[in-house]
């Protein structure tokens, strides 16, 4: 079910499926989307300081919890420190600002958004401090390649619990997946639906027809069977519900392999080795 979780290396449980809110502006549409998600069983919400919508997410959480009759502890809230705030003191301050905007007294997961060279190590030290203070239940990174993780782990006291990266059938991230598995770092897919660019793909359409599911559901199911946490974004109620209706069917090994074979190492987002 939507409440199924993976256990991070520190024992914290993280839902396999959540809702992402990238590019959803502060306002009624955002609040509605997050509330719809909570109402329909979503327990994980992915935002970031740079999305400039943490206040709206906070409002939706407060209203959504009330309406669904559940407690804060049942939710898993993720935010991320933006590049401009990477540094020890500045990351601590950015975390406090996010917490305030969200109206929460702790986060479930806080991530370094991008591996800005020369800066991410100080930021990591700040995340370790926040974690030890109990202000965040798990800490991790985003857009880290194997070499970034290796560098980080050389000096880290606590290894990242999660690495959130672009991942979809055109960018299957197999090498990173292996590395993360070996180091007990949970891989999480951003833009799992390739921001809408996969819906016309004939191979995926054929598989979707075979299972009588939508292409979105096939891709989300493929994430789950690969052991990848996934956070598809939609603001439309029927799609939010559709994207979560993936716990009652299973893709065959053959179909998993067919989807894996769509890989072209093609990105929709920036290359973590060459951004800014
Ligand atoms: P996505 O791959 O989730 O695709 C979203 C698009 O697909 C939207 O246009 C939506 O309307 C459409 N869509 C969703 N469900 C659909 C359905 N069932 N049928 C038809 N269309 C559907 O793209 P995303 O928003 O870029 O990624 C998901 C989340 O990942 C973001 O919201 C954000 O939280 C996170 N993210 C993180 C980073 C990072 O650097 N860490 C970068 C990008 C996104």
Distance from C-alpha of 212 to C-alpha of 205, rounded to nearest angstrom: 10
Mind listing the pLDDT tens digit for each residue in 97-123? 999 999 999 999 999 999 999 999 999
Pairing of strands 186-190, 229-230: parallel
Dig out the tokens for 7 from the structure. Answer: 């256990």
- Predicted local distance difference test score (pLDDT) of residue 160: 98
Residue 183 Cβ inside 6 Å of ligand 1? The answer reads no
Confirm whether 51 is a catalytic residue.
Answer: yes
> For 213-223, what is the mean pLDDT?
98
Confidence check: pLDDT of 275 > 90:
no
The H-assigned helical ranges of the chain are: 28-39, 54-68, 88-102, 120-132, 146-155, 174-182, 202-211, 215-225, 237-244, 253-260
Residue 142 Cβ inside 6 Å of ligand 1? The answer reads yes
**From the candidate CATH numbers 2.40.50.140, 3.20.20.100, 3.30.70.360, 3.40.640.10, the one assigned to the domain spanning 5-196+229-248:** 3.20.20.100
Which of the listed residues 144, 168, 191, 228 should we mutate to test ligand 1's pocket, taking the one with most ligand atoms within 8 A of CB? Answer: 191
Confidence check: pLDDT of 276 > 80:
no
Residue nearest to atom 38 of ligand 1 (CA): 190
Residue nearest to atom 18 of ligand 1 (CA): 239
Residue 46, CB half-sphere, CA atoms under 13 Å: how many? Answer: 25
**What pairs with residue 163 in β-bridges?**
141, 187
Task: Find the radius of gyration of the CA atoms of the chain.
Answer: 18
- Predicted local distance difference test score (pLDDT) of residue 145: 98
Distance from C-alpha of 226 to C-alpha of 6, rounded to nearest angstrom: 12
> For 38-42, what is the mean pLDDT?
98
- Which among 42, 51, 110, 120 is annotated as catalytic? 51
Task: Write down the mean pLDDT value for the chain.
Answer: 98
Please give the distance of CA 234 from its chain centroid, rounded to a whole number: 14
Residue 191 Cβ inside 6 Å of ligand 1? The answer reads yes
Report domain extents, the chain: 5-196+229-248
Residue 22 Cβ inside 6 Å of ligand 1? The answer reads yes
């Amino acid at each position: 079910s939507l409440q199924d979780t993976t256990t991070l290396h520190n024992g914290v449980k993280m839902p396999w499926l959540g809702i992402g809110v990238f590019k959803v502006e502060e306002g009624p549409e955002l609040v509605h989307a997050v509330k719809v998600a909570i109402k329909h069983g979503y327990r994980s919400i992915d935002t970031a300081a740079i999305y400039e919508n943490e206040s709206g997410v906070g409002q939706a959480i407060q209203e959504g919890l009330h309406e669904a009759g559940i407690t804060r502890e049942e939710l898993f809230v993720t935010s991320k420190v933006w590049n401009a705030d990477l540094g020890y003191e500045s990351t601590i301050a950015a975390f406090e600002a996010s917490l305030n905007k969200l109206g929460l007294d702790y986060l479930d997961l806080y991530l370094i958004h991008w591996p800005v060279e020369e800066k991410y190590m100080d930021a990591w030290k700040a995340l370790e401090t926040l974690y030890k203070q109990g202000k965040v239940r798990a800490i991790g990174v985003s857009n880290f390649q194997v070499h970034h993780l290796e560098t980080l782990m050389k000096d880290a006291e606590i290894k990242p619990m999660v690495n959130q990266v672009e991942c979809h059938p055109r960018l299957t991230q197999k090498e990173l997946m292996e590395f993360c598995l070996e180091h007990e770092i949970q891989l999480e897919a951003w833009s799992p639906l390739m921001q809408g660019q996969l819906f016309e793909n004939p191979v995926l359409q054929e598989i979707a027809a075979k299972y009588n599911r939508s292409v979105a559901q096939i891709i989300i199911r493929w994430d789950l069977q690969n052991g990848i946490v996934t956070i598809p974004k939609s603001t439309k109620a029927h799609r939010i519900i559709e994207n979560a209706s993936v716990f009652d069917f299973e893709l065959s090994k053959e179909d998993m392999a067919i989807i894996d074979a769509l890989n072209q190492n093609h990105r929709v987002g920036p290359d973590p080795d060459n951004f800014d």
